[in-house]
A = this chain, B = another copy of it.
Amino acid sequence: MSKILVFGHQNPDSDALGSSIAYAYLKRELGVDAEAVALGTPNEETTFALNYFGVEAPRVVESAKAEGADQVILTDHNEFQQSISDIRDVEVVEVIDHHRVSNFETANPLYMRLEPVGSASSIVYRLYKENGVAIPKEMAGLLLSGLISDTLLLKSPTTHATDPAVAADLAEIAGVNLEEYGLALLKAGTNLATKSAEELIDIDAKSFELNGNQVRVAQVNTVDINEVLERQAEIEAAMTAAIQANGYSDFVLMITDILNSNSEILALGANMDKVEAAFNFKLENNHAFLAGAVSRKKQVVPQLTESFNA
């Protein structure tokens, strides 16, 4: 029996890395030869969390087969285009996720644990409890970071009624103050000044197949939307280049104000009518304000899906 690789999605964020590292640890405690790997290097926010809790970033892999693995466990994603390059050549034996299901299939029955909660880390927390395994301090810290990151410190509408209690328990195990640590973690991810436009649109970007269109939806966190819009020209150039290089039909960028919980949408591509219809707004100079929107998963992708399918 070869090693089972455990990983989150491409462009890993704090929840992808936290859930995969902590779930691989749990599987090993349960006697399974599991290793957490990553489909990319950690972003600045996640690097802050890894450094804070003294955990090394998982090694980056490009192919499961090249690692000698026949079986994989996915955390924080299920859509194949967000997964490892050779996902169709290996067996997915487990999925721990909190997203919609799409472009996912298996030949065999599997263990699949999806819950509509704030983070995949919330589910991994529950699986420790169900299996009676104590959560080590540093694993609690990474799971907490995943939950804080995905819910913008429990403020996003994706926050589940059960998540605050999970966060409180994890903060206690991790030995941090939830609010203080949470704000420090989120702020670590808003340092966009050092990023090129190409890097910026790829910090947290996912592709979605919407009615035959490949739509790229990226998100950046900031404490000042205008600071990002000042770079609109170079960001648009990077978006256009990404569209052409990857065959995207559209590129939708959420510029999210983490302090006031709003987003500016900057969008380019072939289906701007559908993007406008999705949010019932009018793009001016390619962008528009989306009040109260902070969640790609709940406040952007479902609306785009419906509009593209209309």
Interface residues of A (CB under 8 A from B): 98-116, 130, 158, 297-298, 302, 305-306
A86 to chain B, nearest CB (A): 15
Set of chain B residues within 8 Å of A103, measured between Cβ atoms: 105
Q: Is there contact, CB below 8 Å, between A101 and B111?
A: no
Q: Is there contact, CB below 8 Å, between B101 and A105?
A: yes
Q: Is there contact, CB below 8 Å, between A110 and B114?
A: yes
Set of chain B residues within 8 Å of A115, measured between Cβ atoms: 109, 111-112
Tell me the complex Cα distance, A115–B112, Å: 6
Secondary structure of the A contact surface, majority rule:
loop
Question: Which residue of the partner chain B has the closest CB to A99?
Answer: B109
Set of chain B residues within 8 Å of A111, measured between Cβ atoms: 114-116
**How many protomers of this protein does the assembly include?**
2
A215 to chain B, nearest CB (A): 14
Having A111-B114, A111-B116, A112-B115, one finds 8 other A-B pairs with CB under 8 Å, namely A100-B107, A100-B108, A101-B106, A101-B110, A102-B105, A109-B115, A109-B158, A112-B112
Question: Which residue of the partner chain B has the closest CB to A302?
Answer: B107
Q: Is there contact, CB below 8 Å, between B109 and A112?
A: no
Question: Which residue of the partner chain B has the closest CB to A114?
Answer: B112
A295 to chain B, nearest CB (A): 10
> Considering the complex of A and B, which 10 residue pairs feature the smallest CB-CB distances, nearest first?
A112-B114, A109-B116, A102-B105, A100-B106, A107-B305, A107-B302, A101-B106, A100-B108, A111-B115, A100-B109
Q: Is there contact, CB below 8 Å, between A112 and B105?
A: no
A112 to chain B, nearest CB (A): 4
Q: Is there contact, CB below 8 Å, between A108 and B116?
A: yes
Q: Is there contact, CB below 8 Å, between A104 and B106?
A: no
Set of chain B residues within 8 Å of A107, measured between Cβ atoms: 100, 302, 305-306
Question: Which residue of the partner chain B has the closest CB to A116?
Answer: B109
A223 to chain B, nearest CB (A): 28
Q: Is there contact, CB below 8 Å, between B101 and A112?
A: yes
Q: Is there contact, CB below 8 Å, between B110 and A106?
A: no
Set of chain B residues within 8 Å of A158, measured between Cβ atoms: 109
Question: Which residue of the partner chain B has the closest CB to A88?
Answer: B309
Set of chain B residues within 8 Å of A98, measured between Cβ atoms: 109
Tell me the complex Cα distance, A274–B112, Å: 30
